[in-house]
Copies of this chain bind each other. A is one copy, B any other.
Amino acid sequence: MIRFYNAKILTMDGDTEIRTGELWTDGAVIRYIGETPDELPAFEREIDLDGNLLMPSFKNAHTHSAMTFLRSFAEDVPLQTWLFEKVFPYEDRLTPEDVYAFDRLAILEYLASGTTAAFDMYFFPEATASAFDEAGMRLMFCGSINGTAKDVDRLNDQFQKFRHYSPLVGYRLGFHAEYTSDESLHRGVAALAQAEKEPVFTHISETRSEHEGCIERHGASPAQYFESVGLWEYGGGGFHGVWFDEADRAVFRRNGLWFVSCPCSNAKLASGIAPLKECAAAGVNLALGTDGAASNNTLDPFREMYLGTVLQKLRHNDAAALPAAELLKAATVGSARAMGLSDCDVLAPGKQADLIVIDLKAANLQPAHHIPESLVLSGDRMNVKLTMCAGKILYENGVYQNGIDAAAVRRDCAARIPRLTD
């Protein structure tokens, strides 16, 4: 058992109130949250938080982790050039060993940013599962097939293989996007989802041309078209949703789907500003993701939350648009639930011990008038003092734990770069 005491605690369990007291973990789970009792059990470690904040860790609800290999490789270029000249040709060179190496680089950044789970869409799932499992970080795969009905078998194979891969690694059904697959694939995935009673995820309405192209091809927007083929009978969600209209939001609302926004990627690639305020007003579930490092260029939940609120203020010409605390909820509770990690969402006894410690004494968080708002508008991953996943401390005071050798990861990645991007 590990004891955190002298803590401020933001449980995110129903409200954003700040409590004081202590939290104990027991193996992978939270055992106790409350005042200091008269009698204490024996602990393997006791950590005095000295008034610092304990809160749920961040979960990254949309990412392509191994795309770290292209970080800052192609900047300030239009989307089509970026994708067809700078991303696809280089991705073709990737081996499973490369993906393992650059997943590990992403994991270093996730942990230093207070993120303990990634909803990852990419190639070579075995390599990715190994990288996350070894590091002690959670991974939820998202299927990413393209093509036609015959590709659905491959999705099902991966799903069956990885759905119960390990306590940390699981799998959700998914495919890349409407515009990279045909109706036979969409109906095939829908049938699989219905047979397995599983949710389905996909890129959706990220760019205007993709959104309008779907209307031309199928007579309806992606959200409305997918609903019509029965894709979401057991829930799921979509990534980006920049071009969602009122009817699309209604589809997401009535199917209980997750709207996973990636504000930084949408900004860098000039895809647009997603209608987060309208989604929230319509009662749509909100989550946040970073997308890959090539289009972001960082994997930072603080930046996503910040941009998530201020872009709504700009879009609506209203400083009151989409309160900052809504983004904190999306980045923690929402993102956990979006990827099906409902036992990792808030701090409460019996929940998984996926949590972080925030240095409230840092100058950028002082004075601490309103901590949830301050985390979103002023917070920074330099404020992350400790990251714990499933009860294991993986990062503490700038040093990686659990056998993670940051220098070895960096050297391994650097050695691969010349072959991948010459």
Contact = CB atoms under 8 A, between A and B. Distances in A.
A296 to B, nearest CB: 7
A351 interface: no
A368 B374 CA distance: 31
Interface string A62-85: 000000111111011111001000
Contacts of A71: 366-367, 369, 374, 378
A319 B76 contact: yes
For A300, A363, A368, A377, the residue with the greatest tally of chain B CB atoms inside 10 Å of its CB is A363
Contacts of A410: 361, 363, 366
Nearest to A110: B363
Interface residues of A, number: 73
Contacts of A303: 303, 306
A403 B373 CA distance: 32
A71 B72 CA distance: 33
25 contacts: A68-B367, A71-B366, A72-B368, A72-B369, A76-B309, A76-B320, A76-B324, A78-B318, A105-B366, A109-B363, A112-B362, A267-B313, A270-B313, A270-B316, A270-B317, A270-B319, A293-B378, A296-B377, A296-B378, A297-B377, A311-B314, A366-B414, A369-B421, A380-B380, A398-B398
Interface of A: 68-73, 75-79, 82, 105-106, 108-109, 112, 264, 267-270, 272-273, 293, 296-300, 303, 306-307, 309-311, 313-314, 316-324, 361-364, 366-371, 373-374, 377-378, 380-382, 398, 406-407, 409-410, 413-414, 417, 421
Given A76-B322, A270-B313, A298-B364, 19 more contacts: A71-B366, A71-B367, A72-B369, A72-B373, A76-B319, A79-B319, A112-B382, A268-B319, A270-B316, A293-B378, A296-B377, A300-B364, A307-B310, A361-B410, A363-B409, A366-B410, A366-B414, A367-B414, A380-B381
